[in-house]
Chain A
Amino acid sequence: NAGVTQTPKFQVLKTGQSMTLQCAQDMNHNSMYWYRQDPGMGLRLIYYSASEGTTDKGEVPNGYNVSRLNKREFSLRLESAAPSQTSVYFCASRRQGDQPQHFGDGTRLSIL
């Protein structure tokens, strides 16, 4: 049982390049979330998907897009990377109701 799997684990991009961060969960969870974690800032929600087929903006959505490909997979896309998007990105999932979120180990992204 892998839980939440994120790929890649590390990535270096140049300003203006695009890339997609992948996330998959094998727990049959309904909701999925993308966060970014910056030093001294805690985790901030970028986008979330309350259920398959729906996506909504979180606190810091600018510069990102998401796709809920199916119940298992939720991808985050940077169309034109900027140095301000250098961060650690975490994907999480949750079953429903008053249940905790389960996190992947993160993608460490550096944009030069």
Chain B
Amino acid sequence: SQQGEEDPQALSIQEGENATMNCSYKTSINNLQWYRQNSGRGLVHLILIRSNEREKHSGRLRVTLDTSKKSSSLLITASRAADTASYFCATDPERGSTLGRLYFGRGTQLTVWP
């Protein structure tokens, strides 16, 4: 399977704490993307990291990519109750392709308690 796999499947923390989610994948990638899904809604893109990048930041989000280990992590700092959602990693494995097909993992359900 080309899918990414997130770990843990579920994460429960208090407001103010940091949340770390991991993603492992099996094939070489063009880029890796993280999405958030609130209950009953569609996925919302958070951040894209290319295969030649090691780290990216966006507000309270920090994403790292280790292509040698075929893994990525998403760190949310100073979590808020509004961060409660499912988080998915998605890999774009087709270098040079214009198809843009993504392969999603099964997601991490993050719950942030007030």
Chain A residues within CB distance 8 Å of chain B: 4, 31, 33, 35, 40-45, 48, 50, 56, 58, 90, 92, 94, 96-106
Interface contact A101-B31, CB-CB below 8 Å: no
B33 interface contact, C-beta 8 A? yes
Interface contact A105-B101, CB-CB below 8 Å: no
Interface contact A42-B106, CB-CB below 8 Å: yes
A90 to chain B, nearest CB (A): 6
For B50, the chain A residues whose CB sits under 8 A away are 98
Q: Known contacts A98-B31, A100-B48; is A105 also within 8 Å of B41 by CB?
A: yes
Residue of B nearest to A90 (CB): B42
B43 interface contact, C-beta 8 A? yes
Interface contact A42-B107, CB-CB below 8 Å: yes
Tally B residues with Cβ within 8 Å of A: 26
Interface contact A43-B41, CB-CB below 8 Å: no
For B88, the chain A residues whose CB sits under 8 A away are 42-43
CA distance A43 to B91 in the complex (A): 12
CA distance A8 to B85 in the complex (A): 24
CA distance A100 to B48 in the complex (A): 7
For A44, the chain B residues whose CB sits under 8 A away are 104
For A103, the chain B residues whose CB sits under 8 A away are 35, 42-44
